[in-house]
Amino acid sequence: MAYVLPPELQSLLAHWTLRRNERDMPPRRALALSGMAEWYDHLAIIDIAAYGNLKRYEFAFCGQAMRYRLGKEAMRLELRDLDRPVWAELIHTLERAATQPAIGYGSPPRASGTFVTYCDLVLPLSDQGARATQLLMGSYAIAHHADS
């Protein structure tokens, strides 16, 4: 099944592009959460700690709707602290987003027997350099279905 980037994520990408101002990625300070009210509940900010080729991803902020996407309150948790199916869906998208916007899709299992498919847009942020030090993730549910 092919999906299209939802309008909310299209507008988030446009907002990021505008703040980028001809750089590879915008600095984190150019995208204050207070200026992103329309997406606030659907956002996460993820800190990247790099150790050579190894990276650690830690959630610095999670909006209310993002908690449903991640399966729990993830603030101050590392990616690998999430349930295995969730982090396995996200890791490749986060790795791709270190240099450019990345889109991913996921349908984490729920105990209720229903599934929700999410579209994730992950955008790199820098500390005035060419290397991403944080990621801005927006996620919206795009399909609901029951376990068959």
pLDDT band at 45 (very low <50, low <70, confident <90, very high): very high
Q: Roughly how many angstroms between the first and final C-alpha of the chain, as a whole number?
A: 17
Q: State the average pLDDT over residues 32-37.
A: 90
pLDDT, residue 1, reads 47
Is CATH 3.30.450.20 what the domain over 7-146 is classified as, yes or no?
A: yes
User: In this prediction, what percent of the chain has a pLDDT beyond 70?
Assistant: 93
pLDDT, residue 6, reads 96
Cα distances (Å, whole numbers) of residue 23 to 31, 36, 81: 14, 20, 33
